[in-house]
Structure 1
Amino acid sequence: MAKVLVLYHSTYGHIEAMAEAVAEGARSVEGVTADLRRVPELVPDEVARQSGYKLDQAAPIATVDELEHYDAIIIGAGTRFGTASSQMRNFLDQTGGVWFQGKLIGKIGGAFTATATQHGGQETTLIGLIQTLLHHGLIVVGLPYSFQGQMNMDEIVGGSPYGATTITRGDGSRMPSQIDLDGARFQGRHIAEIAKKQFG
């Protein structure tokens, strides 16, 4: 049984929705299990509530120690000024011991993200997350163009060969579209299929 971890941080629920779709795609592969985990929120509870953070997320909080128990790790985080949210970076910055021991070498990895605008740093965020995965020795898998939805020009959609994405609008009012969620499911399934071949 290949084991997939979908590890995410979501402030307003956009990345949470994408993470659920990634996990759904991974679970659609027979012989694969997929767990959803989120990284700890660093913003004080009172400030988060005043700012409208979505605090009622069902996914358990992840620990660094559990990463080595998965065959594939797919990371999702919103974009902050062209890079991943500080909550995700803080969690990843605690994986030095895992890196030192080489515990993630040879596993499969991927990333997904969200931005407020079409050109708000999706690809720089994904590449930053991918760099971390590469430093850990993971084999990185993106969102290939066989997912044709990312080629759509009839509406604004997310999607990048580096990973699934969505666009939220500046006020956060746009939740992931069907195409965005389909891209997330596709990437989750694609990574799960590769992990199954490698570890199943």
Structure 2
Amino acid sequence: MKNEVLILYYSRRGATSEMARRIARGVEEVAGVDAKLRTVPPVSATCEAVADSIPDSGSPYASLEDLRECSALILGSPTRFGNMAAPLKYFLDQTSPLWLSGALEGKPGAVFTSTGSLHGGQESTLLSMMLPLLHHGMMLLGLPFTEPALLGTRSGGTPYGPSHQAGADGSLPLSEDEAHLCRALGRRVAEAVKRLS
């Protein structure tokens, strides 16, 4: 079986997507482990609204089969009032068949987020994304304080997972520490996959 880390995220303005790409780089720094980027479509308030099956740009949309086949799962979302964004939650709510079969049980899992402000609910959003992973029986990985950037960051970064302060308009780029912590999480999850395979 191929060692593949699925990085599943929702991104509205591009910051979470950029974090996902940095995490993927960290995954692929570990020999024998590949990264797979997938996203989810937006949720519409209009009844019967149907999105195209392929997004206009960015990563392809995820399927339950992507989750079933992955060796590890890393979830990412912008913060919405201290919680994950509705499109990611909507997708996760459809994973009951995987829960019933135990498809994710024992696999490594991790989370990351981007917020508009430094105190915009980063840690509560990361915790909210951890809950479904726990219900699926996954082994959660965060960032240890042996990562120097975690102690020195003046922007995003938590032991629960990487975070980014994007600014109110979402235009702030990743800081050096934020980018480093994204790659560190990718490497950490990939190394766990190798140890477990």
* TM-score (norm: length of structure 1): 0.89
State the secondary structure of the residue aligned to 2:130: helix
Offset from partner CA, 1:93-140 (integer Å, 9 cap, x none): 000111111111000000000111111111101011111101000000
**Number of residue-to-residue matches in the alignment:** 187
2:73 corresponds to: 73
1:2 corresponds to: 3
Offset from partner CA, 1:135-171 (integer Å, 9 cap, x none): 0000000111122112226xx3211000000001112
Q: Match of 1:130, as an amino acid?
A: M
More off after superposition, 166-175 vs 56-65: 56-65
Q: Match of 2:127, as an amino acid?
A: I
Instruction: Output the CA distance in 1 between the equivalents of 2:128 and 2:56.
Output: 28
Offset from partner CA, 1:30-63 (integer Å, 9 cap, x none): 010111011112248xxxxxxxxxx753211111
1:16 corresponds to: 17
Instruction: Output the CA distance in 2 between the equivalents of 1:130 and 1:151.
Output: 22
Q: Match of 2:64, as an amino acid?
A: V
Unaligned runs of 5+ in 1: 45-54
Instruction: Output the CA distance in 2 between the equivalents of 1:111 and 1:57.
Output: 23
Q: Match of 1:113, as an amino acid?
A: T
- Of 155, 160, 164, 1:166 maps to 164
Instruction: Output the CA distance in 2 between the equivalents of 1:22 and 1:173.
Output: 19
Q: Match of 2:102, as an amino acid?
A: G
* TM-score (norm: length of structure 2): 0.91
Contact 2:109 2:140 in 1 (8 A): yes
State the secondary structure of the residue aligned to 2:103: coil
State the secondary structure of the residue aligned to 2:5: strand
State the secondary structure of the residue aligned to 1:172: coil
Instruction: Output the CA distance in 2 between the equivalents of 1:60 and 1:15.
Output: 15
Offset from partner CA, 1:71-108 (integer Å, 9 cap, x none): 10000000000100001000100001111111110000
1:152 corresponds to: 152
- Of 178, 181, 184, 2:179 maps to 181
Instruction: Output the CA distance in 2 between the equivalents of 1:116 and 1:43.
Output: 22
Q: Match of 1:173, as an amino acid?
A: S
2:96 corresponds to: 96
Instruction: Output the CA distance in 1 between the equivalents of 2:76 and 2:156.
Output: 14
Instruction: Output the CA distance in 2 between the equivalents of 1:184 and 1:161.
Output: 12
Contact 1:64 1:91 in 2 (8 A): no
Q: Match of 2:128, as an amino acid?
A: G
